[in-house]
């Protein structure tokens, strides 16, 4: 893996859903790090503060049929998370 020291230690990948598509990401990491895992270059060079102040990494989760906004750099990934909307600056492809 490229740049493994930027990720929190993990033993396995867990499945989450992003915009209707399933992805496997490292457990024990913030959503923003997981996005970086999926798209290293785009997220690495994105305009993110990584500490929750800029709000550029806001995403919206499916919370029992309602949207719940969270900050990706401060939210730890959980198995089965469903991300239904991404902030404009988050490019995963």
Residue 86: HSE in the Cβ half-sphere, 13 Å Cα cutoff? 15
pLDDT band at 66 (very low <50, low <70, confident <90, very high): very high
Average pLDDT for the chain: 94
Each residue's pLDDT tens digit, 40-63: 999 999 999 999 999 999 999 999
Grouping H, G, I as helix, E, B as strand and the rest as coil, residue 55 is coil
Q: Global pTM?
A: 0.92
10 class by beta-carbon count within 10 Å (0-12 exposed, 13-18 middle, 19+ buried): middle
Identify the pLDDT of residue 3: 54
| Model pLDDT, residue 4 | 65
Q: What mean pLDDT is predicted for residues 63-90?
A: 96
Strand partners, 54: none
């Amino acid at each position: 893996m490229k740049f493994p020291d930027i990720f929190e230690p993990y033993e396995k990948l867990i499945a989450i859903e992003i915009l209707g598509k399933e992805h496997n990401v490292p457990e024990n990491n913030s959503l923003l790090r997981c996005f970086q895992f999926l798209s290293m270059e785009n997220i690495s060079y994105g305009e993110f503060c990584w500490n929750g102040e800029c709000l550029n990494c806001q995403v919206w989760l499916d919370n029992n049929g309602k949207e719940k906004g969270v900050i990706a750099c401060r939210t730890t990934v959980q198995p089965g998370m469903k991300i239904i909307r991404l902030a404009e600056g988050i490019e995963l492809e």
